[in-house]
Amino acid sequence: MPRRSASPGHSPPRQGRSARRPAGQGRRADIRRTAVRRVQRLLLLIIALAVAASVWSLWQMARDGQGPLWLALIFGPPQTLTDRSIGIVAGHSGNDSGAVCPDGLTEAAVNQAVAEAVVQALRRRGAAVDLLQEFDGRLRGYRGDAFVSIHADSCQVELSGFKVASLAGGSRASSQLAACLWDRYTFATGLKPHPDTITYDMRGYHAFREIAADTPAAIIEIGFLKADRELLTQRQEQVVAGIVTGIECFLQR
Contact residues for Zn ion, defined by CB under 5 A: 91, 98, 151
- Residues in the chain, overall count: 253
* Closest residue to Zn ion, based on beta-carbon distance: 151
Give the chain as a 3 state SS string: CCCCCCCCCCCCCCCCHHHHCCHHHHHHHHHHHHHHHHHHHHHHHHHHHHHHHHHHHHHHHHHCCCCCHHHHHHHCCCCCCCCCEEEEEECCCCCCCCCECCCCCEHHHHHHHHHHHHHHHHHHCCCEEEEECCCCHHHCCCCCCEEEEEEEECCCCCCCCEEEECCCCCCHHHHHHHHHHHHHHHHHHCCCECHHHCCHHHHCCHHHHHCCCCCCEEEEEEEECCCCHHHHHHCHHHHHHHHHHHHHHHHCC
> 79 vs 233, which CB is nearer to Zn ion?
233
Rounded least distance, CB 98 to Zn ion, Å:
4
Distance in Å, CB of 112 to Zn ion, minimum: 12
Q: How far is the CB of 202 from Zn ion (least distance, A)?
A: 9
Cβ closer to Zn ion: 181 or 251? 181
Q: How far is the CB of 50 from Zn ion (least distance, A)?
A: 55
Please identify, using beta-carbon distances, which residue of 80 and 189 lies nearer to Zn ion: 189
Roughly how many angstroms between the first and final C-alpha of the chain, as a whole number?
Answer: 76
- Considering the complex, what minimum distance in angstroms separates the CB of residue 91 from Zn ion? 4
Smallest gap from residue 150 Cβ to Zn ion (A): 9
Residue with smaller CB distance to Zn ion, 129 or 219 = 219
Q: Which is nearer to Zn ion, 80 or 149 (CB)?
A: 149
Tell me how far, at minimum, the Cβ of 92 lies from Zn ion, in Å.
6
- The torsion of the CA quartet 220, 225, 228, 229, rounded to 10 degrees, works out to 120
CB closer to Zn ion, 62 vs 211: 211
As a whole number of angstroms, the distance between CA 102 and CA 246 comes to 32
Cβ closest to Zn ion, residue 129 vs residue 225: 225
